[in-house]
Amino acid sequence: MPKRHRHTYKNSLSFLSCGMISVEEVRKQIPLLSEIVYADNAATTLKPKPVLDAMADYMQKCGANVERGSYRLAQQATDLWDGSRKSIAKILLNCRPEEMIFTKSTTEAINIAAASLERPLLDRISGKFSYDAPLVKWQRGDSVVSTVIEHHSNIMPWMRLCAKTGARFVMASPSKEGLLLPEHFEGVVDQQTRVVALQHASNCVGSVHNLKEIIKTIRVLNSKAIICVDGSQAVGHMPVNVKELGCDFYAFSGHKGPLGPQGTGGLYVKSDLLSHMEPLLVGGGAIADVTERDYKLRSDSLSKRFDAGTPNVAGMIGLGKAAEYVGEIGLKEIEERERSLAKSFIDQISGVKGVSIYGPNDMRDRCGVVSFNIEGWRCQDVSLTLDEKWKILTRAGHHCCLPAMRFFGLWDSFGGNVRASFAYYNTEEEVAKITQAIKKIAGG
């Protein structure tokens, strides 16, 4: 059985001063929180003022494009941009900036990873414009493994890769409560497995998988399989150490846990893969040289090979600030607070007649995402009523996890589930408001 992480649950008020930035302070920096009960943080989080200020400052006081500028404002823009990548890589993933590609989302990050396994790197290599050895030499019978509980973004790019390479697409199933365990990969991952794509935490039932133990098991089953993690619901919600996990790719969104802007995200790539990886885009910014016959991609910072074209400078400066912001609160504090709010919510609604709650029973296997249904109600109608009557914002539906919804038997009966997802800035008072509203709906 996987080793479990231990957590202590604290009284909600004690958190008001536990981080370097208190809950009260964060809430003041997001004025919208005084008007609504925002519990849709798994879709996107609201952004605190310092993040918005960092972006506005760049736009208003600098505004220059990054890289290759000789005037001082251009240098300043490049410094801000480089500084952001450093903060994001270190605080959110514990990797070096050269190992993290900037992307617009988790979805883009996974697509970049999958595309790089389809075709070899083309570059001037040893003086000749030629193809490098492919990252995967696809052979008859090879497979790509994903899991039933994945978001569509960690399924579809791999299905497409299989269709293009002729590989088999295979899915591992989680436990009935939505937890992936090491043994779920036994009998699925074998010597012909080339890629394993799995998530760190689930956006549809709130499970947090013991990734370190799962990856260890996958490595025993096949030491050469490339492991790609979807960290969309983990990064910024808990400490993530890609080195300790031992994965090859780790994709994340900047606009969820890290409190950064939409249109930002990243992809950690293990160095030995990165130097042989074909960028999805080539063009300005990604090169060391271009002649009339060939090009040489830049090697000074491998992750910058993936920056062809003018990037989302303001967005990444915002995400850099956001990474520093959640780092200042403390990622452990964020993880514990979000889990504590989830626990309190589950405790309060679990006795309510007609309410079913999904996900692991053991709080140690959960994050701040709590999904549920109410007997006799389509999930979308519950979410709509919560908003219309009480300004409580939740999300309902399949959450881009149709295979999972079918696996749990929730698609035909409820149209998916209702999801309340908590962030550091949510409060016990809000949990109580949501509970009261659910009791009223369930009571008819």
Q: Interface residues with ligand PLP (CB under 6 A)?
A: 42-43, 105-107, 151, 153-154, 199, 203, 230, 232-233, 253, 265
CB of 411 to ligand PLP, least distance (A): 18
CA distances from 19 to 16, 23, 48 (A): 8, 8, 15
Q: Which of 95, 367, 400, 401 is catalytic?
A: 400
For residue 437, give the 3-state DSSP assignment. Answer: helix
355-358 and 369-374 as β-strands: parallel, antiparallel, unpaired? antiparallel
Q: Smallest Cα–Cα separation from 42: which of 283, 267, 356, 366?
A: 366
CB of 106 to ligand PLP, least distance (A): 4
Q: Closer to ligand PLP at the Cβ: 146 or 153?
A: 153
CB of 40 to ligand PLP, least distance (A): 10
The b/e string for 181-192 (b: 16+ C-beta within 10 A; e otherwise) is bbebbeebbeee
DSSP string, 319-374: HHHHHHHHHHH-HHHHHHHHHHHHHHHHHHHTTSTTEEEES-SSGGGB-SEEEEEE
Q: Could you give the CA distance from residue 37 to residue 172 in angstroms, rounded to a whole number? A: 36
Q: Could you give the CA distance from residue 175 to residue 45 in angstroms, rounded to a whole number? A: 29
Q: Closer to ligand PLP at the Cβ: 265 or 403?
A: 265
CB of 50 to ligand PLP, least distance (A): 22
Q: Residue 75 is inside which H or E element, if any? A: helix 72-87
Q: Closer to ligand PLP at the Cβ: 201 or 437?
A: 201
CA distances from 398 to 154, 260, 401 (A): 15, 25, 5
Q: Which residue type is seen at 405? A: M
Q: Closer to ligand PLP at the Cβ: 184 or 419?
A: 419
CB of 280 to ligand PLP, least distance (A): 15
Q: Closer to ligand PLP at the Cβ: 193 or 253?
A: 253
Q: Closer to ligand PLP at the Cβ: 45 or 199?
A: 199
> Is 400 noted as a catalytic residue in this protein?
yes
Q: Could you give the CA distance from residue 253 to residue 234 in angstroms, rounded to a whole number? A: 9
Q: Which residues, in sequence order, are bridge partners of residue 297?
A: 287
Q: Smallest Cα–Cα separation from 136: which of 120, 124, 160?
A: 120
Q: Closer to ligand PLP at the Cβ: 197 or 274?
A: 197
Q: Smallest Cα–Cα separation from 148: which of 117, 105, 179?
A: 179
Say which residues have a Cβ less than 8 Å from residue 263's Cβ, sequence separation at least 6: 104, 105, 254, 255, 312, 315
CB of 125 to ligand PLP, least distance (A): 33
Supply 390's token pair: 């009480």
Q: Closer to ligand PLP at the Cβ: 152 or 298?
A: 152
Q: Could you give the CA distance from residue 400 to residue 391 in angstroms, rounded to a whole number? A: 24
Q: HSE on the CB side for 32, CA within 13 Å?
A: 10
CB of 206 to ligand PLP, least distance (A): 11
Q: Closer to ligand PLP at the Cβ: 252 or 377?
A: 252
CB of 323 to ligand PLP, least distance (A): 16
Give, rounded to a whole angstrom, the gap between the first and last alpha carbons of the chain: 43
On whether the CB atoms of residues 95 and 249 are closer than 8 A, the answer is no
CB of 161 to ligand PLP, least distance (A): 17
Supply 257's token pair: 């846990």
Q: Which residue type is seen at 436? A: Q
Catalytic residues: 400
